[in-house]
Amino acid sequence: MTEEAAVQDAPIDPIALRRAFGTFVTGVTVITTLESDGTPRGMTANSFTSVSLDPPLLLVCVAKSASSHAAFTEANCFAVNILHEGQVDVSATFASKSPDKFQLVNHDRAHTGAPVLTDSLTWFDCSLHNSIDAGDHSILIGQVRAFGTSPTAPLGFCRGRYASVKDPLPTGWLASHGMIIGYLIEAGDGLLLRADGKGGWVLPSARRRKADSELVVDGGDALRLVPEETFLYSVFDVADSDPGYLVYRARLAGEGAEIGLTEGLRFFPIDDLPYEAIATHELRSMLRRYVRERQAGRFGIYMDSHDGGRVAMIDGQARAWLQASQDQGQ
């Protein structure tokens, strides 16, 4: 027997192999599906990869020892939710045997019905394309039916622990039509801002253009708003290669400034906003206009243009459309 053959025949130490696999830096996902009776199931996984763009395919690997293995292999759909850097607690929750996993996170349905974690970095809603038996795992290949993403930083994992990913969003990564939806959220004499992770502050952002009575801000809380006081405030671009902004005004319901906020969200007094820590001059300019108009009690809507933009001023209090149309008809 040659020395090479002897090396090849040597048994593989599974613990050492697991550690070797663990040197590959991955993201962290929560995969979700539904049992036959509609009960949502989910687990943390980092065995995920893209497979094909045409057709749009991805895969995840589910251990046969996982309590959710049967639910995933018997279902005809699943979702992959890639976590952002602020979701270590979500990763821990779905890695546990907690029976209340889905009561602790915001989730919704998109196309297939599989639960989508609405606060995640990126989500993919998939129908099952194929299932492959692979040793102590099952490989699930999904065809992407819908997806969504955000500009927050991903949660990394390496050598059995979470890892930080630096500078995750190169210039031009988001298409220019993928506008950031920002909110000027008022409470008392304060305005809510979000830490950008680089020592500065930005507006809270959200996935939805229109907030009803509740708004889920990216990487943060579900905030109760006064729906009658939510209006479009500003539309502008930052640069040709970066996404533009849709900015809405909104007011928190109740004693907003007193509620417990996720770390990174903070109310600033309206007359003491941290302009020097706002990243772009467009946002600084918009905030200064907002402060002036709020102090005057008279707001406008700003629309960007090649010659500096236009502001349309709004006079009087907002009224329901039905009432306004009736008054006009009299």
The answer, as to whether pTM is greater than 0.95, is no
Please report how many Cα atoms fall inside a 13 Å half-sphere around the Cα of residue 180, on the Cβ side. Answer: 21
**pLDDT value, residue 94:** 93
Amino acid identity for residue 18 in this structure: R
**pLDDT value, residue 176:** 39
Average pLDDT estimate for 297-323: 68
Judge whether residue 35 has pLDDT over 50.
Answer: yes
Q: Which pLDDT band holds residue 257 (cuts at 50, 70, 90)?
A: very low
More confident: 238 or 174: 238
Q: Which pLDDT band holds residue 306 (cuts at 50, 70, 90)?
A: low
**pLDDT value, residue 41:** 94
Give Cα 5 to chain centroid, integer Å: 51
Rounded alpha-carbon distances, angstroms, from residue 35 to 118, 124, 128, 167, 258:
20, 18, 14, 39, 40
| Separation CA 83–CA 4 (nearest Å) | 43
Domains of the chain: 25-163 (2.30.110.10), 180-311 (3.90.79.10)
| Separation CA 309–CA 307 (nearest Å) | 6
Most confident of 62-76, 160-174, 228-242: 62-76
**pLDDT value, residue 6:** 45
Judge whether residue 157 has pLDDT over 80.
Answer: yes
Percent helix, strand and coil across the chain, each rounded to 5?
20, 40, 40
**pLDDT value, residue 241:** 45
**pLDDT value, residue 164:** 78
**pLDDT value, residue 1:** 45
Judge whether residue 175 has pLDDT over 60.
Answer: no
List pLDDT tens digits, range 199-216: 889 888 876 555 556 777
| Separation CA 98–CA 207 (nearest Å) | 28
Most confident of 63-72, 163-172, 242-251, 303-312: 63-72
Average pLDDT estimate for 85-104: 89
More confident: 243 or 125: 125
Judge whether residue 33 has pLDDT over 50.
Answer: yes
| Separation CA 22–CA 322 (nearest Å) | 61
Q: What are phi and psi of 127, to 5 degrees?
A: -90, 150
Q: Mean pLDDT over all residues of the chain?
A: 80
